[in-house]
Amino acid sequence: MSVLVAYSTRFGYTKKTAELIAERLRLAGKTVDTADARKVNQAQIDGHSSFVVGSSIAAGQWKGPAKRLLGRLAGAGKPVAVFVSAGGVMTGKKPGSAPDAPPEGTIEERQAEAVRLFAQPVCAALGLKPVAQSAFGGRMAFFGKEMFNSWDARPVETWADSLAGTLS
Ligand SMILES: Cc1cc2nc3c(=O)[nH]c(=O)nc-3n(C[C@H](O)[C@H](O)[C@H](O)COP(=O)(O)O)c2cc1C
């Protein structure tokens, strides 16, 4: 049986994170598929033994397709790990801080705060008890001007490697 890594993205960074998670799980010997959450059908839910679901965060909210998929998985009784791709707290910078201000706190502290803000409330509302939760940075640009880029492969790899032991 295999793992399905599903994601909802607008600008591609959640997909990039999902694909890196899939790559690491494959390196650990798992059979892994990836899919846009909009396209996950019942056969895919029935055909995979565990799931990783990720969403980008916009205006504090999950994207609808990933959230709806989590709702379907809450009733499926299979292991589900959850991640979000966020700006805000994942940059380690306070709103209004100087552009060259160093990030505050550790990556683990930022991840814990983003999980508390964005992953836990959604899982609780859907009645889903995830086997693992994490948060990763992303990138935001407006009209070609980069506002931030906090995407980093290392925390993604660390989490994915730990997931390999968690997901059956
Ligand atoms: C319109 C917009 C709203 C956003 N709102 C939030 C937010 O409320 N909280 C947050 O942490 N990040 C926010 N972000 C940052 C995104 O979560 C981040 O850029 C993420 O990497 C986007 O993922 P994607 O590339 O998969 O779409 C926002 C980004 C955009 C473009």
Q: Report the Cα 163 to chain-centroid distance in Å.
A: 13
pTM given for the model: 0.96
- Quote the CATH superfamily of domain 2-166: Flavodoxin domain (3.40.50.360)
Q: Is the pLDDT reported for residue 123 higher than 80?
A: yes
pLDDT of residue 94: 82
pLDDT of residue 168: 65
Rounded to the nearest integer, the mean pLDDT of the chain is 95
Q: pLDDT, tens digit, for every residue of 11-60?
A: 999 999 999 999 999 999 999 999 999 999 999 999 999 999 999 999 99
The better pLDDT of the pair 155, 102 is held by 155
Please tell me the distance from the alpha carbon of residue 16 to that of residue 165, in angstroms, as a whole number.
22
16: number of Cβ within 10 Å: 19
Q: pLDDT, tens digit, for every residue of 74-104?
A: 989 999 999 999 998 998 888 788 878 888 8
- Considering just the CA atoms, what is the radius of gyration of the chain in Å? 15
Pocket test residue of 7, 14, 53, 57 for ligand 1, highest count of atoms within 8 A of CB: 57
Q: Is the pLDDT reported for residue 147 higher than 90?
A: no
In this structure, the residue with its CA closest to atom 21 of ligand 1 is 138
Regarding the beta carbon of 87 and ligand 1, being less than 6 Å apart is answered: yes
Helix (H, G, I), strand (E, B) or coil at 96: coil
